[in-house]
Structure formats: structure tokens, C-alpha cells
Amino acid sequence: MVAENFNLFTESDALGRITVTSSRASWTDMRSGDDQIFLSLDKGTGFFDGSFVHTLTISHTASEKGASFSGFWVMSNDLLDIKGLRDGGKDALYVQSAHPNSPDIPVLTLFEVDGGADFGDPTGGFNLTTGVTLYLTITRDETVGSFGEIKLQVYSDAQRTTLVETQSFNLHSSKKDFRYVMVGVSEDSAFGGSADQKKSSGFSEDLDLMGATQGVTPQVSTQAPTAITATTATGNGTIVDLGLAAVTAHGVVWDTSPIDTSVVPGSQPNSTDEGAGSVGPFTSNITGLTGGLIYYKRAYATNSFGTTYGDGFQWKAGATYSVKKPGTAGVKGEEWHYIGLSGTEYALKGEAVL
């Protein structure tokens, strides 16, 4: 996962509200009525199509009650501020903070602009604490409903293990592809008088734009079983990366046929679940084997985005020499054996060389 370089974004900032480093875009004293303030990245027509996951880090560092706004993340096909998208009858997705008069608490809310109409999570916004850093995961899943679902998950820690808020709703009218991603986006309100001068400050940081599954599920590898007997073995695996959420289940699955990775672990013929996991190696007890039979196993790890299986291994119950992985070779008795790509074991035989 690689964060976008904000130095490569295009800045629309005639009033000098935004400062930029490679990883962070900050805005200071952005007024509610500021027109066309934002940083934008043009990824090309229809780049953001289908399902995707975006992550970023934000902080609401200051605001004035009454009508102050900060746009932390916006996707659109038009380079416009929030009001411009609405008034222009455009389509967009955005995450914005707003600080009303009452209650005197800034809130963070996920919205969709569909043909100029605003839609949001009916449960309302998430109360923000000034100066607190939050870690966002924004997911569009086009397999949900008629036109997909948009979801905002807010975490209090960089590892995204402590979820403090979820907002989601089904998208409206049609499936939409987007071209631009923007941060530090002004509202451009038209309340009149002092309301348009209310100020807000904050930052968006470490913006990572990912596809549907890239980097979001755990990464796991499978190692050869050990302590092999006729009826038991020790399954070995390694969680290489947690993905974008905490690992809630991990273990091994095994059967006398190759493992079907389209089936979740709990529905496999045989599986273990060691519960929550962390990065590093793990073991899990394999039981109920029949001596002499060939078995197949894979390690797995699961988080809220899904399950990942490691490579498969093949071995014979009760035969410690016969761990089989495609591409491996070794001596068995007085013969040289190797494992083909299909998992079949071959013995090489030939004449003696003088």
C-alpha cells in the first residue's frame, strides 16, 4: 500500500488556505464561504470504477461553531467545491466535517451528491474532538443493492483495530465512475453575513487509493506440517500482513482433496480457528487423520474484509518424509523424487554413471 504524493496534486487555492507536504495536505482558517479551495488529482476518465477501498488519516484541528466546514475527501467528475457540486447538479462522494450552532460539536459525515441532491447516513454524523487523529477507511462495494453501497469506517488507531464509527448507505439512481479525488475542499456556503466567515482547520494525510481487494484482506503463507503422526500433525502458517482491519480468525484447513479456496474456513470439511491474530508465525493442531492417507492443507487468516488462504501443502499421514509442495525435490530411500506443478510426486530412475 503506497500513499499518494500530495505534491503531485493540483492546487486551487487563491486565498492561500492550504499547505502541502508529500504526505499531508493541511488547511488553516478555511472560511465557510471560501470559493473553489481544494487539492485535486486527475486519475483519468472512469478511473474509479467498480468497488474500491480508500484509506486516509485526518484530524479536525480547529473550528468555529455556526457554519464551519472541512472537506477531507471528495470524489467527483468535476473540479468544484461542495456547493458547486450540488448547485451544478453533479455527482460526487465526500466526507466532510461541519460545526453547527447547536449542539456546539463538530461532526464528521459521509455524503453522496446524486444529480445535485445530497444524501447521507440517516443515523447522522460522528462527533469529533478537536486535535484528535482519526484513521478512515472508505469502501464502495458495487455488489450491494442496485447501485452499490458506500461505507465510512472510523478507527482510533493506525492499525485500524479499534472501530469507533461506521456510516453506510446504498447509492442512488445509477452506478457512477469517477475521475478526480480531492482533499481540503471548501464548502462555499451562501448563508450571508458572518456565517460565511466561520473558520475551520484540519488535515488529510496518507491517502491510499486501492482497488476492490488490494491490500485489504490479510496476507498469509503456509508452511509444511510438522510433528506428523498417523492421526495428527501440527499445522504451520504465518500472518504476513493484517490488511486494513484486525485479524479476527486464523488457523488451518485440511482435507483428503485439494482445498477449495472459494469456501470460507468454517464451511470446509476440517478447520481450526485460533481467534484473533497478529503478524508472525502460528501453529494449529490437526487431528482426526487416518494413517496412510494423503492430506491437503492451507493456512488462512480472516478480517472484516474477507479471508485469504496461503499456498497448499500435501502430505501423507504417518509419513514424515512425504511433505509435498510443487517444485520441491529430495531423496526418498535410494531414489530422487520431485513434486510436479500438479502436486504429483515423481521418482527419477536411470542407469548408473561410471
Q: What is the DSSP letter of 113?
A: E
Q: Which CA distances in Å does 52 have to 17, 135, 148, 295, 309?
A: 30, 17, 11, 37, 21
> Per residue, what are the HEC states of 198-211?
CEEEEEEEEEEEEC
DSSP 90-105: --EEEEEEEE-SSS--
The set of cell numbers assigned to 121 is 447516513
Count each helix (H run) and each strand (E run) in the chain, helices first. 1, 26
User: Which tens digit of pLDDT belongs to each residue from 177-199?
Assistant: 999 999 999 999 877 677 778 99
pLDDT at 321 over 70: no
pLDDT at 75: 97
- The CA-CA-CA angle for residues 42, 43, 45, to 5°, reads 95
Examine residue 334 and state whether it is found in any structural domain, yes or no: no
Q: What is the mean pLDDT of residues 73-98?
A: 97
226 and 114 assigned to the same domain: no
User: Does one domain contain both 194 and 226?
Assistant: no
Q: What does the mean pLDDT of the chain come to?
A: 90
The pLDDT, as a whole number, for residue 331 is 65
Question: 301: domain range?
Answer: 219-320
Residue 327 lies in a domain: no
Highest mean pLDDT among 100-104, 280-284, 330-334, 339-343: 280-284
Domain co-membership, 163 together with 230: no
Q: Measure Cα distances from 269 to 85, 303, 317 in Å.
A: 52, 21, 17
Give the pLDDT of residue 189.
85
Of 192, 210, 228, which one is at a domain's C-terminal end?
210
Q: What is the domain count for the chain?
A: 2
Q: Looking at the structure, do residues 112 and 68 belong to the same domain, yes or no?
A: yes
Cα distance between residue 182 and residue 45, in whole Å: 15
Please check whether residue 86 lies inside any domain of the structure: yes
Q: Which residues neighbour 1 within 8 Å (Cβ) at sequence distance 6 or greater? A: 55, 208, 210, 214, 215
Q: Are residues 200 and 296 in the same domain?
A: no
Residue 247: give its domain's CATH number.
2.60.40.10
Same domain for 175 and 227: no
pTM > 0.75: yes or no = no
Domain annotation covers residue 331: no
Average pLDDT score over residue span 146-171: 94
Calpha distance 171→111 (Å, rounded)? 10
- Residue 135 sits at the vertex; the CA angle it makes with 131 and 139, to the nearest 5 degrees, is 140
Continuous segment of H or E residues that includes residue 114: strand 107-114
| Alpha carbon 269 to chain centroid, angstroms | 29
**What are the CA-CA distances from residue 161 to residues 54, 243, 245 (Å)?**
17, 11, 6
Can you give the C-alpha Rg of the chain in angstroms? 27
201 within some domain: yes
Cα 318 to Cα 175: distance, rounded to the nearest angstrom: 55
pLDDT band at 341 (very low <50, low <70, confident <90, very high): low
| Distance linking the first and last C-alpha atoms of the chain | 56
Regarding whether 262 and 191 lie in a shared domain, the answer is: no
pLDDT at 354 over 60: no
Confidence of residue 327 (pLDDT cuts 50, 70, 90): low
On whether the CB atoms of residues 100 and 198 are closer than 8 A, the answer is no
Q: 73 and 120: one domain?
A: yes
* Whole-angstrom distance, CA of residue 313 vs CA of residue 297: 5
Predicted confidence (pLDDT) per residue in 194-230, tens digit: 777 899 999 999 999 875 555 678 889 999 999 999 9
Task: Indicate which CATH number applies to the domain containing 10.
Answer: 2.60.120.200
Nearest residue to 252 via CA among 320, 310, 292, 303: 310
Report the C-alpha gap between 137 and 160 in whole angstroms. Answer: 9
pLDDT at 246: 82
Q: Does the residue 164 lie in any domain?
A: yes
Q: For residue 25, which of 201, 288, 219 has the smallest C-alpha distance?
A: 201
Q: Do 175 and 66 lie in a common domain? A: yes
Residue 335, domain member (yes or no): no
- Tell me what pLDDT residue 19 has: 98
The predicted structure's pLDDT at residue 195:
72
- 347 CA to centre of own chain: 45
Q: Find cell 487416518 and name the residue.
A: 290
In this predicted structure, the answer to whether residue 111 has a pLDDT above a threshold of 80 is yes
Do 122 and 185 fall within a single domain? yes
**Cis before 225? omega within 30:** no
pLDDT for res 268: 97
Q: Is residue 345 part of a domain?
A: no
Q: Are residues 127 and 157 in the same domain?
A: yes
Per-residue burial over 20-30, b if 16 or more Cβ lie within 10 Å, else e, is beebbbbbebb
- Facing residues of 303 across strands? 306
Domain final residue, candidates 182, 210, 238: 210
Is 140 in the same domain as 274?
A: no
